[in-house]
Amino acid sequence: MKDLPELVQDIVEATKKHEQYRDKECINMIASEGLKSPAVNQMLDLSHDLDCRYAEGENDAQGHVKKRYYQGQKYMSQIEDLATDIMKSLFNTTWADVRLVSGTHANLATFKGLSLASKNNKMVVTPLSCGAHISHDYTGLAGNILGLDNINHVYNIDEFNIDAEKSAYVIRAAKPGIVTFGGSLFLFPHPIKELRAVCEEVGAYIAYDASHVLGLIAGGQFQDPLREGADFITSSTHKTFPGPQGGVIMGNPNSPVMEKAVKKIQFAIFPLSASSTHLGRLPALSIAALEMKVFGGELAIQIVKNAQTAGQYLCENGVKVLAENKGFTKSHQIAVDIRSFGGGNKIAQDLEDANIILNKNLLPYDDQSSKGDPSGLRIGFQDVTRRGFGEGDIKHLCDLMLDVIKSKRKPAEVKEDVLALRKEFGKIKYGFQNVEEALNYIKKG
């Protein structure tokens, strides 16, 4: 191994190369990644001291700071309360908690809190193979760390959705403490409305994992989980919601049962699972929330339009895009079955060689042991949309992808066109260019 200073030199070099490669030279289509605006990045740069601080303690029923254990908190408590209120205001809730450092942390605290509140260890979830996140599953956080028993929703592969009628039977029979919705391969709104009554009947809390679609929800697209009957939203803050990496939980506690749930979730955050809450991200999160309030509607509409355009175009050009009968998607992603062109592994790698970055993905009908070479690709459109791609640009990008997928041209050759296309989109749209611009926007009312 090299000595430490040389290793540091290498890591600085690798970081510079990464920033150039992924931010300037690649087209990013990974559906779980966000794109921060210059204003959000600048706010992160203005929050370096906050990044060193601790704010351990309890919060109250509104999600505000109640008790802190260290001194020096006067502005930190204000910052946390403001970030909490900003998220509450954007998503129209009476309670939020912004202390979660990731979406997985939000799930951990919510699942733990709700299992304590319901005194019930059973949780109905979407099958992992049908798009749930590993943190929902018995093989991941839910089972292996929290010790929850998973029972699967019934999933209809043709509809690419939970089968509400059949899942109602499952929920009635299992009587779980928690029913979850939401996921990672997430094309269509989940049937919360349809299952709310049966969840109430058995006394189950509904937790909706909005990690992938939070930005779409902020923009009034996809679905409105809390108004459709979810008790809590858990989420990352850095996918379609273009904030810094972090997590959030939100809800409208309006009954003793919900107030009890909030208390247990707060207990699961502190003292159970958080010490440092990474406060340096909160001002930047707040700038991203303002961007979603101002530009979120327009952005969300264009993201979904771009995803649907790509679905239609790839399909017309001989690629099997899932859910054709349903218009391909209502979210920021599409799923394609790429077996006839060599499988997920090969095509994802070939596209990477052309500087188009996406991920191979298991499809609901795949053998779950074929994770290494699944049938599918998951393609996300939130990044390119924020960079300003419209439908015409999406078709051009699809043409480049088709050249690779159909082996019409070598990936290295396509890469030259990808670099040229990427250069055309130098500015981030649907956001502020700096913090001053955000403040001027506010001043103008």
Interface stretch with ligand PLP, choices 85-93, 206-214, 274-282, 307-315 (CB under 6 A): 206-214
Q: Which of 162, 142, 165, 141 is nearest to 153 (CA)?
A: 162
- Strand 232-236 and strand 376-380: the pairing is unpaired
Closest CB to ligand PLP among residues 246, 344: 246
Closest CB to ligand PLP among residues 135, 312: 135
Residue nearest to ligand PLP (CB): 103
Nearest-Å Rg of the Cα atoms of the chain is 22
Report how far apart the first and last C-alpha atoms of the chain are (Å, whole number): 58
Asked if 56 and 70 touch (Cβ cutoff 8 Å), the reply is: yes
Indicate which single residue of 110, 120, 236, 355 sits in contact with ligand PLP (rule: CB under 6 A).
236
Tell me, rounded to whole angstroms, the distance of Cα 53 from its chain centroid: 26
Q: Which of 142, 156, 155, 211 is nearest to 183 (CA)?
A: 211
Tell me, rounded to whole angstroms, the distance of Cα 56 from its chain centroid: 26
Tell me, rounded to whole angstroms, the distance of Cα 11 from its chain centroid: 28
Q: x/- binding map, residues 212-231, to ligand PLP, per CB under 6 A?
A: x-------------------
Interface stretch with ligand PLP, choices 36-44, 66-74, 180-188, 300-308 (CB under 6 A): 180-188
- Residue 181: CB minimum distance to ligand PLP, A: 10
Told to check if 211 binds ligand PLP by CB under 6 A, we report yes
Interface stretch with ligand PLP, choices 51-59, 102-110, 220-228, 385-393 (CB under 6 A): 102-110
- Residue 245: CB minimum distance to ligand PLP, A: 7
Closest CB to ligand PLP among residues 213, 401: 213
Interface stretch with ligand PLP, choices 2-10, 181-189, 276-284, 351-359 (CB under 6 A): 181-189
Helices 282-316 and 391-405: crossing angle in degrees, nearest 10, is 60
* Number of residues near ligand PLP (by CB under 6 A): 15
The amino acid at 183:
G
Please give the biggest Cα pair distance in the chain: 64
What residues contact 186, with CB distance under 8 A and at least 6 apart? 131, 212, 213, 331, 333
Which residue is it, tokens 């919601």? 241
Told to check if 129 binds ligand PLP by CB under 6 A, we report no
Told to check if 104 binds ligand PLP by CB under 6 A, we report yes
- Residue 212: CB minimum distance to ligand PLP, A: 5
Interface stretch with ligand PLP, choices 209-217, 277-285, 311-319, 387-395 (CB under 6 A): 209-217
- Residue 333: CB minimum distance to ligand PLP, A: 10
92 exposure class (CB count in 10 Å sphere: 0-12, 13-18, 19+):
exposed
Told to check if 126 binds ligand PLP by CB under 6 A, we report no
Told to check if 182 binds ligand PLP by CB under 6 A, we report yes
Q: x/- binding map, residues 262-281, to ligand PLP, per CB under 6 A?
A: --------------------
Q: How far is CA 233 from CA 208, 218, 317, in A?
A: 5, 12, 38
The amino acid at 129:
S
Q: Which of 218, 220, 198, 189 is nearest to 208 (CA)?
A: 189
Indicate which single residue of 135, 266, 306, 375 sits in contact with ligand PLP (rule: CB under 6 A).
135
Give the span between the Cα atoms of 132 and 147, in whole angstroms: 17
Q: x/- binding map, residues 31-60, to ligand PLP, per CB under 6 A?
A: -x----------------------------
Which residues are at the interface with ligand PLP (CB under 6 A)?
Answer: 32, 102-104, 107, 133, 135, 182-184, 209, 211-212, 236, 247
